């Protein structure tokens, strides 16, 4: 479903991503881990079109998407979430879902002048979809609350569901449990598995070792922009190079 070959990105003299190749098969959950600053978020920015790569090729569903802009890639079914949550704090939970992130405001405005009925129908359908999704995500009871008043774990979940509204084939999640309290981490895990059952493929960046190791079928490990290991979670946890990279960060200990 996703195939990255020889991906490279430099910032000034720094090689943030260095000749990286990886693959994500349809219907799987794949982890991308590595110490702080190892280039994980940059990889997501490259794949989703937010940054341009200096070298390499990105294929999604058999199509070359290298260099395409983010909204085009999103429309093809590849969406990402951000390390920093990006819900609209002053909107309600429901409103956050009906304002689909990939919508072009200009187009919507012209459409509403030219085809008012079609737009109205479209909005109605979107509203129904949003309510169904809120039920699925156990956020239905909170649909009229302002997003900023939700506990952080639920804001993260809302952000996840906002991305689901765009009907993605693959989701790139950048640290979905960062800052999330422990009971909510377990919830996040459940919803990701439920979405996987609905046919969504995942590539997940995580700091929370137990979480990512428990969910992923395959894990890639980055260090200083380079792929230092890949394998099943148990293989990766035993890999001396990985332990070395994490030494002193205390993160690996939490996984075993």
Residues that bind Mg ion (CB under 5 A): 40-41
The whole-angstrom separation of Cα 7 and Cα 205 is: 17
Tell me how far, at minimum, the Cβ of 136 lies from ligand ADP, in Å.
29
Secondary structure string (H, E, C) spanning 163-230: HHCCCCCEEEEECCCCCCCHHHHHHHHHHHHHHHHCCCEEEEECCCHHHHHHHCCEEEEEECCEEEEE
Q: Which stretch binds ligand ADP (CB under 6 A): 29-37, 52-60, 93-101, 103-111?
A: 29-37
Cβ contacts of 177 within 8 Å, gap of 6 or more = 156, 184, 185, 188, 206, 207, 208, 211
Residue whose CB is less far from ligand ADP, 97 or 204: 204
Contact 56, 5 (CB under 8 A): yes
Verify binding: residue 216, ligand ADP, rule CB under 6 A. no
Q: Which of Mg ion, ligand ADP, none does residue 184 bind (CB under 5 to 8 Å by kind)?
A: none
Please pick, from the candidates 13, 36, 90, 144, the single residue that binds ligand ADP as defined by CB under 6 A: 36
Please pick, from the candidates 34, 168, 176, 233, the single residue that binds ligand ADP as defined by CB under 6 A: 34
Question: For ligand ADP, what does the binding mask look like between residues 42 and 81, x meaning CB under 6 A?
Answer: x---------------------------------------
Strand partners, 218: 30
Tell me how far, at minimum, the Cβ of 15 lies from ligand ADP, in Å.
9
Residue whose CB is less far from ligand ADP, 36 or 198: 36
CA-to-CA dists, residue 150 to 84, 98, 134, 223, 244, angstroms = 16, 18, 14, 35, 39
Tell me how far, at minimum, the Cβ of 16 lies from ligand ADP, in Å.
3
Please pick, from the candidates 24, 29, 31, 40, the single residue that binds ligand ADP as defined by CB under 6 A: 40
Q: Which stretch binds ligand ADP (CB under 6 A): 35-43, 63-71, 179-187, 195-203?
A: 35-43
Instruction: Output b/e per residue, 215-229; b: 16+ Cβ within 10 A.
Output: bbebbbbbbbbebbb
> Which residues of the shown chain bind ligand ADP in the complex (CB under 6 A)?
11, 14, 16, 34, 36-42
């Amino acid at each position: 479903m996703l195939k990255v070959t020889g991906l490279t990105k430099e910032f000034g003299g720094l090689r943030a991503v260095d000749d990286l190749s990886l693959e994500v098969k349809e219907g799987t959950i794949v982890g991308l881990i590595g110490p702080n600053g190892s280039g994980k978020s940059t990889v997501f920015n490259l794949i989703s079109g937010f940054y341009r790569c200096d070298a390499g090729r990105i294929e999604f569903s058999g199509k070359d998407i290298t260099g395409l802009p983010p909204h085009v890639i999103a429309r093809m079914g590849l969406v990402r979430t951000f390390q920093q949550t990006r819900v609209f704090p002053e909107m309600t939970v429901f409103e956050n879902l009906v304002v689909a992130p990939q919508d072009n405001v200009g187009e919507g405005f012209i459409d509403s002048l030219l085809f008012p009925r079609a737009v109205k129908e479209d909005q109605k359908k979107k509203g129904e979809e949003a309510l169904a999704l809120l039920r699925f995500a156990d956020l239905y009871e909170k649909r009229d609350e302002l997003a900023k008043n939700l506990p952080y774990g639920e804001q993260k979940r809302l952000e996840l569901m906002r991305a689901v509204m765009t009907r993605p084939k693959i989701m790139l999640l950048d640290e979905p449990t960062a800052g999330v309290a422990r009971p909510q981490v377990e919830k996040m895990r459940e919803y990701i598995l439920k979405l996987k059952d609905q046919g969504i493929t995942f590539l997940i960046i995580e700091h929370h070792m137990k979480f990512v190791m428990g969910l992923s079928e395959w894990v890639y490990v980055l260090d200083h922009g380079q792929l230092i290991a890949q394998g099943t979670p148990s293989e990766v946890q035993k890999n001396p190079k990985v332990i070395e990279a994490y030494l002193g960060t205390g993160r690996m200990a939490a996984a075993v």
